[in-house]
Amino acid sequence: MTSILILNGPNLNLLGTRQPEVYGSTTLNDIEHMCIATAKELGCALAFHQENSEGALVDLIHAARGTHDGIILNAGAYTHTSIALMDAISSVELPVIELHLSNTLAREEYRHTSYISKVALGIICGFGAAGYGHALRAMAQHLETSE
């Protein structure tokens, strides 16, 4: 069975209360339940994690090799700063979809640079919580067609 890892970076544990005008009122727990339902519909196994620490995210990416077939990563602010995450993604040789709730290109200038996109299969941004379902479907389709 195809296995997909969804990783969420810093401050995403505060979804639902943190800047709802930007990120919406859906909680990370709500998103996880939506992802579980979508993965079941797609016939995929799913692991879902959130970490505020960059090192913990790197460790989870490393552990994905040989365990998961693809990664969906909402790295939050680390998207714009973390060469370590970029290098971890490159080292595990798994397809990664970069995901953001907001349209980062319509926001502050510093959010326009992504280290993750340099090694990602693609980017989904600006669709709020629905972006997670879009990313799961895109990853499942990619994995199916690349077998």
Which of 68, 100, 115, 132 is labelled catalytic?
100
Domain containing residue 110? 3-145
The domain that contains 29 carries what CATH number? 3.40.50.9100
Which of 23, 78, 115, 132 is labelled catalytic?
23
With H, G, I as helix, E, B as strand and everything else as coil, classify residue 35.
helix
Identify whether 100 is a catalytic site residue. yes
Cα 89 from Cα 70, distance rounded (Å): 11
pLDDT in tens, 7-37: 999 999 998 887 777 667 889 999 999 999 9
Identify whether 23 is a catalytic site residue. yes
State which H helix or E strand residue 87 sits in: helix 83-92
- Split into its structural domains, the chain has a count of 1
Report the predicted TM-score, pTM, of the whole model to 2 decimal places. Answer: 0.93
CA nearest neighbour of 4 among 28, 30, 38, 52: 38
**Positive or negative: CA dihedral 92, 94, 100, 106:** positive
Task: Output the tens digit of pLDDT for each of the chain's 147 residues.
Answer: 999 999 999 999 998 887 777 667 889 999 999 999 999 999 999 999 999 999 999 999 999 999 999 999 999 999 999 999 999 999 999 999 999 998 887 677 877 789 999 999 999 999 999 999 999 999 999 999 987
